[in-house]
Structure formats: C-alpha cells, structure tokens
Amino acid sequence: MSGPTILVVGPGKAAVDAAIEIRDQGAEAVLVIPRFPYPGLPEVLPGIDVLSEHELLRLDGGPGDFRAHVISSGNVTEVHCAAVVMAPEPLPPMPSGTAGVMTLHQACCEGIPHSVQQLVIFLGPEADRPSFVRAVDLAIKACALPAHPRVWLFSEEMQAYGADELLYADAQAAGVTFVRTNGPVTLNTDPLRIGAVDIPSEVPINILPDLLVTDGVTDSEALSRSGPAQLLEGTVGHVSMGPVATMREGVFLCSSYDGGALEGESRTGARAAAARAVTLALNPLTRSAAVVDRDKCSACLTCVRSCPFLAARPGDEGKAVIDSTLCQACGVCVGGCPSRALSLPEDGTMGPKAGLKEGLE
C-alpha cells in the first residue's frame, strides 16, 4: 500500500472502524491498541498494521509529518504518519471503594502507587503557591513512573514565575495536561469522574482517574481515602494541550461507543474522523506560525504559559521560541504578550519556512 500513513489510537470499536475506513480509502492505517482492548476485538484486521499493547507516549511534528512515539514494555518506537485519529474510550469506572483519594501531602510523602494509570491532581481555590509547586513536581514524577500514567493537573490559576516557570515548562514537556478551572468547585462521592471542556475545540473531556490527589478543596468532607469522588457540574476547564491531547491540527477525535451515543452514530463519527484524516494527509496545509522579535522579548514567558498547543517555550536567555510544527497560529500569545514581541505573518500563508526568522525554531 502506498498511500499516506495515518495513526489510529484507541482500544475499542471506534478505533477499529476508523482504521478500516482509512484502509478502504487507500491510505495505510497503523492501529495502536493500548492495554485493555475491548472484548471481541478482531484478531486479524487485513491490511491494517496493529500495534497491540502499545501506548502513545508523545506526538511531535505536525500535519503531514507527525512523529508518534509509541511505547510497549518500556521500548519506544517512532512511527511517522501524516495524520492521527484518536478514539479514546473511557476506562470502566473503578468499583466503589477501590478508587484512591490522597491529600497532596500524603502523595508527596508516600509517592504515587506504581499501578496508577490515570492520575488527577486537583488544587482547589484554597491551595497556596507552594502547593502548586509541589503539585507540579509530583506530576512530573508521576509521569516518569513505569506505567506512564496520564496525569492531569486541575487548578484555578496556573501561576508560576521565575524558577517555577521552568518547572511548569518541564511538566508540560513531561506530558502533564493542565486544566484551568474557572471557579469554586465541589467534590462529591460516587463515581470517580472528573469533567472538563477543552475551550478551543469545545470538546468535553471525561476523566476517570484511579487516583485523585487533592489540596485546598473547600468542601472536602466527602473525601476519604477509600471513597470515590465526582467533580460536580459547573467546573469547566481550559485544557492546555498535552502531548497526546486531541484537537491539534492533524489530530482528529472519534466519538466513543460509550457515553450514550448510538452505535450507528459512533460508527459514523469514526468514519468521519478517518475521512478527515485521509483528506488532510493527501492535502497537507501550509500553516502560519507566530514569530518572536527577540529585541522586544522581555523573557516574561507569558506566551509559554498561555499557548494551548505547547508551541512556545523558553529559549536562550529565557526568551521565547516558537516551535513552528506545533504553532496553530491561534494568536493567543500575540494578544497576551506585554512587550508586543509576538506577531503572526500578515498573509497567513507562511509555513515552516517561518523558522528562518529569528526566535523561531
């Protein structure tokens, strides 16, 4: 098969449907099936490369030239692909009483259990700045655990300055997904499920953590070490994109067969995501990218904190650099730069060539 390669990641029927659609449209599908695939997954999928018991660890590059790092038993393989279809299906909720809840202090003293697959660290409005630093440090350590858990850090405000700023950048690089909450929250019991909305895409995200670490939560009476918890509605977060988060350009999200969608709707959604991925793979876009004027940049790193796509990071002398393969030209950093050091090309057609400009890699 000679068509473009498209990576499909997911444990269930939606991923299989998307991979079949990609194959049928003449592209090459590589299906990454994480641990715990759904029962009844076909053993043989003709014309589809299947990587069983693999996890997507990191995704570099951009549309037409993604480099996906997938891991299995500690071995990392790089897969080049033109587009990616993510077909997440929520893990089944932990049986009542088995999900863990720890305070931040406990977690820092005792460490995160190595069996944890999905970790949420939740800082309520009463959490102080030292708690934030401890939480970020804990999140980085959790990402390095052998099981490579997904780690989410919920906080009302992501405030970090000076040396803390580098810690924040390290956490993003390690794969921590930051979620900014927009107000007071309440934690309650049964089941353990936390929701957020990715603001750029308005995609709701449900996280079913097997461990919740909390600090500074106003209403924590319902929390116990053994009791599962639920973050009640009203908590809407802005998800800063993690390395494998969706809604990056060239990354398409499939609806899950879980969550109330009818089976036919889910199949249609999977095929639609596959079709969009194939279309993009065959017609890669030329994208704009933000440009830093190093003479004006004051190294405040506001753009590093605010970029939803992790395209901005500290460079020489702390001044910002923009990764043109990640920049989506959304303009968030341009509007937020206090030194007016950032701009987008006026014609909107500059691609990776923009890297020739100073301050852009």
**Residues near ligand SF4 (CB under 6 A):** 290, 292, 297-303, 307, 309, 311-312, 319-320, 322, 327-333, 337, 339, 341-342
Please, what is the minimum distance in Å from the beta carbon of residue 320 to ligand SF4?
Answer: 4
Residue number, 168 or 309, with CB nearest to ligand SF4: 309
Minimum distance of ligand SF4 from residue 355's CB (angstroms) = 13
Nearest residue to 285 (alpha-carbon basis) of 27, 63, 54:
63
Query: What is the DSSP pairing of strand 177-181 with strand 150-155?
Result: parallel
In the complex, minimum distance from the CB of residue 305 to ligand SF4, in angstroms, rounded to a whole number? 9
Q: Which is nearer to ligand SF4, 116 or 320 (CB)?
A: 320
Question: Do you find a cis peptide bond into 191, omega within 30 degrees of 0?
Answer: yes
Among 338, 324, 335, 314, residue whose Cα is nearest residue 291: 324
SS3 74: coil
Q: In the complex, what is the shortest distance from the CB of residue 317 to ligand SF4, in angstroms, rounded to a whole number?
A: 10
Sign of CA dihedral 59, 349, 198, 181: positive
Min CB(292)–ligand SF4 separation in Å? 5
Find the length of the chain: 361
* Rounded least distance, CB 307 to ligand SF4, Å: 3
How many DSSP H helices and E strands does the chain contain?
7, 22
CB within 8 Å of 207: residues ≥ 6 apart: 118, 120, 152, 193, 194, 195, 196
Choice between 109 and 163, CB closer to ligand SF4: 163
Tell me the closest approach of the beta carbon of residue 338 to ligand SF4, in angstroms: 6
264: helix, strand or coil = helix
CA of 265: how far to CAs of 15, 23, 253, in Å?
14, 20, 14
Residue placing its CB nearer to ligand SF4 in the complex, 37 or 345: 345
> Tokens for 189?
């019991």
Looking at beta carbons only, is 123 or 342 nearer to ligand SF4? 342
Spatial distance between the Cα atoms of 307 and 289, rounded to a whole number of angstroms: 12
Whichever of 158 and 322 has its CB closer to ligand SF4, that residue is: 322
Which residue number, 65 or 293, has a Cβ lying nearer to ligand SF4?
293
Shortest Cβ distance from residue 238 to ligand SF4 (Å)?
13
C-beta of 318: minimal distance to ligand SF4 in Å? 8
Taking alpha carbons only, the member of 91, 87, 65 closest to residue 19 is 87
Question: For residue 55, what are its two tokens?
Answer: 């996890």
Tell me whether residue 121 or residue 300 sits nearer to ligand SF4 (CB atom): 300
Q: Which is nearer to ligand SF4, 27 or 322 (CB)?
A: 322
Q: Specify the pairing of strand 118-123 against strand 187-188.
A: unpaired
What torsion do the CA atoms of 316, 317, 320, 326 make, to the nearest 10 degrees?
Answer: 30
For residues 187 and 181, give the distance between their C-alpha atoms in angstroms, rounded to a whole number: 13
